[in-house]
Amino acid sequence: MARADASADPERSDAAGTPADWQIVVPPEARGGLLSVGNFDGVHRGHAAILSELKRLAKKRGVPAVAVTFDPHPVAVLRPEFTPALLTTHERRAELLRAGGADAVVRLPVDRNLLAHTAGQFFERVLLGAFGAVGVVEGGDFRFGKDRVGDVSTLRRWGRPHGWTVETVEAVTVDGAPVSSSRIRGLIAEGAVAEAARLLGRPHRLAGTVVSGEGRGRTLGFPTANLAKLDVLPPAPGVYAGRATVDGRNYPVALHLGPRPTFDAGPPTAEAHLLDFSGDLYGRRLAVDLLDRVRGVRAFENAEELKRQVLADVSAARRIATATPTGESG
């Protein structure tokens, strides 16, 4: 693809001065496509609308639909103390982006060299140079380049000589407010996982590695899988109804997150009781789709009172899981 004359636009006069040690390898199937660039954390309903339009326009032009994700989040590089908790891992994000219509997903490694690119440098070296893009589909608030000075109107102007397609997609609103990753994080942090699922378009998925616990759940008659190394933002402490898939079969789950004040048993835990399951999960990664909050954390007078409450929790988890179509856990 021919390089535009950077001197023709004062905003792109620095396009040749790109950081010398920055590079990205773009797979062949992602070159020459229509791009959507962003964090895509959560791959929520707003992202789904962008992906749908990306797929439609890419098919119209006969080119691949390419989702380009930033990893890690730019804030993690610039101001690590303000890094937002993840809603999805990169692997899960890529899976959801492909399911939403992307033909290819490319991780754009974020470091200070990439973030030093001005808008002109990003356009020339990343979008035109590395990807050979034929255009972009973005939300109306899309910004790019150092200090976020580039926007959609910038891309329209710079892309015109290259025959670019530049389209924007209106924000999706739920209950009168735009769907956003930050809004979803707020809901999950409050424990409002059912409300978060409405914005995501599916339940929030929490995964961890099953490790040995104290075995107290088994003595109560409710053996649990103790999850360590949780990979994304957990909700507020409480008991949650969920669903897990093990070896191709779905199981209702009663998940306890947080402290165990009845036993004063150390730090917060994540304990999943899989209803109707029998087997060994130690060492495996277990993913739980969170459907709704059953109750908060509280202390009980004794083990018998706790056992009665756990029985009620399990009954509620079964009822919620049964009432929620499995297609909503995708």
With respect to residue 2, please indicate whether it lies within any of the assigned structural domains: no
Report the SS3 class of residue 270.
strand
Same domain, 127 and 238: no
With respect to residue 193, please indicate whether it lies within any of the assigned structural domains: no
Residue 23 CA: distances (Å) to CA of 28, 38, 117, 120, 177: 16, 18, 12, 16, 38
Q: Which pLDDT does position 23 carry in this prediction?
A: 74
Q: Domain of 54? A: 30-172
**What is the CATH classification number for the domain harbouring 245?**
2.40.30.30
Same domain, 71 and 160: yes
10-residue mean pLDDT series, the chain (330 residues)? 37 50 84 97 98 98 97 90 94 97 96 94 95 97 94 97 97 97 98 98 97 65 88 96 96 92 70 93 96 92 86 96 71
**What is the CATH classification number for the domain harbouring 139?**
3.40.50.620
What is the model's pTM?
A: 0.89
Residue 173 CA: distances (Å) to CA of 87, 177, 220, 292: 19, 5, 45, 21
Q: What is the DSSP letter of 276?
A: T
Q: Tell how strand 269-274 and strand 225-228 pair up.
A: antiparallel
Same domain, 40 and 148: yes
With respect to residue 321, please indicate whether it lies within any of the assigned structural domains: yes
Residue 42 exposed, middle or buried by CB count within 10 Å (0-12, 13-18, 19+): buried
Same domain, 48 and 127: yes
Q: What is the DSSP letter of 235?
A: -
Same domain, 222 and 111: no
With respect to residue 22, please indicate whether it lies within any of the assigned structural domains: no
Same domain, 35 and 154: yes
Same domain, 38 and 111: yes
Q: Which pLDDT does position 9 carry in this prediction?
A: 53
Q: Which two tokens stand for residue 277?
A: 């399951």
Same domain, 221 and 161: no
With respect to residue 219, please indicate whether it lies within any of the assigned structural domains: yes
Place of tokens 């959801």: 96
Same domain, 208 and 321: yes
Same domain, 261 and 316: yes
With respect to residue 4, please indicate whether it lies within any of the assigned structural domains: no
Same domain, 47 and 163: yes
Q: How many structural domains are present in the chain? A: 2
Same domain, 61 and 133: yes
C-alpha to C-alpha distance for 133 and 32, rounded to whole angstroms: 5
Q: Point out the domain boundary residue: 172, 190, 218.
A: 172
Q: Which of 76, 87, 93 is nearest to 36 (CA)?
A: 93
C-alpha to C-alpha distance for 28 and 218, rounded to whole angstroms: 52
With respect to residue 314, please indicate whether it lies within any of the assigned structural domains: yes
With respect to residue 160, please indicate whether it lies within any of the assigned structural domains: yes
Q: Which pLDDT does position 196 carry in this prediction?
A: 98
